[in-house]
Amino acid sequence: MENTKELRTWLDDMKLNHPLVIAGPCSAETEEQVLKIAHELKDSDVSYFRAGIWKPRTRPGMFEGVGEIGLHWLKKVKEETGMKTCTEVANAAHVKLALEHDVDLLWIGARSTVSPFIMQEIADALAGTDKIVLVKNPVNPDLALWLGGIERLYTAGIKNLGAIHRGFSTYEKSKYRNTPEWQLAIEFQNKFPDLPLINDPSHITGKRDMVFDVCQTALDLNFDGLMIETHYDPENAWSDAAQQVTPDALKQIMVDLKVKKETETAVSYREPLENLRAQINVVDDQLIDLLGKRMQVADKIGQLKKDQNVAVLQSRRWNEILGNMVMEGSSKGLSEEFVLKMFKAIHQESIVHQEKIING
């Protein structure tokens, strides 16, 4: 994928004056449900109506989608509302059926992206299609695996390509359902700036009240669009009830979002500046998270010292840390004075934590 400028063609051809918006229910449940949601969205800025027809579930026995009949419902959506449609495909059979029913946009889910074998099977089934195909990041934070899946499609002659950032699974406690790992999305953009990148705040958050904030961060980081799960009765949705928003809530989100608009003056300065500031915000959030984790380790050290009746301050260990960090900081372009101030503050906070444990 040496020249990715051609990959933006499908998005540029839409001539949108706002970010691309893909919205609709997590799962197609009934014909009535699909059409009701579509009609509520048809006069909004939604560009594509989405609905899951086949639902890959972690465990058997859960609702796994209505299957092929849902594709007939999507055709009705197009006929009655004029909206373009999209759904997830996870194998060659899904691809064949989706193409037969003239689905406009196909996306490949995180569970499929993680397997090069599945990605190759799908690429072979899609070979030469002019449909738009979007690839979600794999479940695990592996940039090479994500790019590899896209490259397989590109090699199969699929030119209307894009990517979806839906966050990554983690065993660590987090406020997110899938941690965004924004730095990976930023690296993705840096490698392929002309490959359209869509954010999926629904799967990142897992909670409808967090969707807006993630949408705003994505737009601040210059994402090209959003995929938001939408249901007229989200509390009773057959899948992922907690993360879906109502059509009215979606419309309000789209009104409230601050979208960067070009003007004739100094756009070459302000847009890169806003993007860089958004990147700094992401890194700052990560720094706070890491510092919190460091203090959790300090708490465990404090408990161990209490149990073994050992003094809080270990001077030799502390001097070794300072020396190593000054050298490491220097290699990263950080001054010795800054590194010393920063780690002395971190060390002092660690001592406070340990003393609370020992004297508590």
Say if residue 62 is in the same domain as residue 210.
yes
The yes-or-no verdict on residue 351 having pLDDT over 80 is yes
Count up the domains in the chain and report the number.
2
Residue 178: pLDDT band with limits 50, 70, 90: very high
**220: helix, coil or strand?**
helix
Residue 320: pLDDT band with limits 50, 70, 90: confident
Q: What CATH number corresponds to the domain at position 303?
A: 1.20.59.10
pLDDT in tens, 258-317: 987 655 456 777 778 888 888 999 999 889 999 999 999 999 988 988 888 888 877 788
Predicted pLDDT at 58: 67
Phi-psi region of 275 (alpha: psi -120 to 50; beta: other; left: phi over 0): alpha
Alpha helices for the chain (secondary structure H): 9-13, 31-41, 69-81, 92-100, 110-113, 116-126, 143-155, 182-191, 201-205, 211-220, 247-256, 267-308, 315-331, 336-359
End-to-end Cα separation, the chain, in angstroms: 59
Cα distance between residue 17 and residue 199, in whole Å: 18
Predicted pLDDT at 266: 65
Q: Given 227, 256, 285, which residue is the final one in a domain?
A: 256
Say if residue 152 is in the same domain as residue 218.
yes
Q: Given 256, 284, 300, which residue is the final one in a domain?
A: 256
Residue 2: pLDDT band with limits 50, 70, 90: low
Predicted pLDDT at 274: 84
The pLDDT > 90 percentage for the chain reads: 65
Say if residue 325 is in the same domain as residue 242.
no
- Give the mean model confidence (pLDDT) for residues 221-250: 96
Say if residue 163 is in the same domain as residue 209.
yes
Show the domain range for 349. 267-359
Say if residue 61 is in the same domain as residue 162.
yes
Of 19-23, 99-103, 197-201, 332-336, give the lowest mean pLDDT range.
332-336
**240: helix, coil or strand?**
coil
pLDDT in tens, 124-173: 999 989 999 999 999 999 999 999 999 999 999 999 999 999 999 988 78
Q: What CATH number corresponds to the domain at position 156?
A: 3.20.20.70
Cα distance between residue 226 and residue 245, in whole Å: 13
Residue 313, token pair as written in the block: 């301050």
Model's pTM, two decimal places? 0.80
Say if residue 198 is in the same domain as residue 272.
no
Say if residue 302 is in the same domain as residue 201.
no
Is 261 domain-assigned?
A: no
Say if residue 140 is in the same domain as residue 162.
yes
Say if residue 212 is in the same domain as residue 234.
yes
Of 94-98, 187-191, 237-241, give the lowest mean pLDDT range.
187-191
Q: Are the CB atoms for 44 and 251 separated by under 8 Å?
A: yes
Predicted pLDDT at 211: 98
pLDDT in tens, 56-89: 766 777 788 899 999 999 999 999 999 999 999 9
Residue 16: pLDDT band with limits 50, 70, 90: confident
Contacts of 346 (CB under 8 A, 6+ apart): 291, 294
Mean pLDDT of the chain: 91
